Amino acid sequence: MTERRVLHTATILADGKVLSAGGGNGWCGSTTSASAEVYDPATQQFGFAGPMSAARSGHTATRLADGTVLITGGMQYWPAAVLAAAEVYLPPAIAPAER
């Protein structure tokens, strides 16, 4: 991955790619992230997918029939907050990860 993550989600998209969204990048997720990236198993590479509308960790993500991903709940660590919000996330065209 392009960013280390804990307590994130991994969702298989309609085209077989995998969306990794949010999570924390510190000890026990102490720094919450809004970033997302997509893994392409055909090329074995990760690419940036653009941010979610809110930083989330410990959330859920479900692929819907139209290819979008419903992301719900979760928490932010600083400032500490439990999220009662949801968003529909449409993964954009994926740019190759910079090395």
For 44-89, how does the pLDDT look when each residue is reduced to its tens digit (9 = 90+)?
Answer: 999 988 899 999 999 999 999 888 899 999 998 877 889 999 999 8
pLDDT band (50, 70, 90) for residue 41: very high
Residue 7 clears pLDDT 50, i.e. is over it: yes
The total number of structural domains in the chain stands at 1
CA nearest to 39, candidates 20, 57, 21? 20
* Long-range CB pairs of 38-44, under 8 A, 24+ apart, other chains included: 38/13, 38/91, 38/94, 39/1, 40/94, 41/16, 41/17, 42/16
Residue 27 lies in a domain: yes
Domain of 16 in residue numbering reads as: 9-92
In-domain check, residue 97: no
Under DSSP, is residue 29 helix (H, G, I), strand (E, B) or coil?
Answer: helix
